[in-house]
Amino acid sequence: MQNAIRKVALITLVIIMAGIFSEVYAQCPMCRSAVESAMQNEDNTVGVGLNKGILYLLASPYLIVAFVGGLWYRKNRKAKNG
């Protein structure tokens, strides 16, 4: 069990470090130009769509972690009771 926890911690650390040191700035200018051109045409649907997409991408990792944590809690509870 300890080895599994260490492996998960190591994988998580590697993913976090890769996210910190990678350059992912490619889409920011594209999104900004799309919103600026839409605002000039007084069409706010592009900005609303981008905001919803950002919230969706923000919530996804938290939902995944909550789901895995719930499964882990349920498995440990069954092991203690059974």
3-class secondary structure for 38-80? HHHCCCCHHHHHHHHHHHHHHHHHHHHHHHHHHHHHHHHHHHH
Question: Tokens at residue 36, please?
Answer: 């600026």
**Residue 34 to residue 40: CA distance in whole angstroms:** 10
pTM of the model: 0.47
Q: What is the pLDDT of residue 14?
A: 78
15-67 pLDDT, tens per residue?
A: 777 666 655 554 567 777 777 777 777 766 777 777 777 778 888 888 888 99
Going from the C-alpha of 43 to that of each of 29, 37, 48, 50, 78, the distances in angstroms are: 19, 9, 10, 13, 54
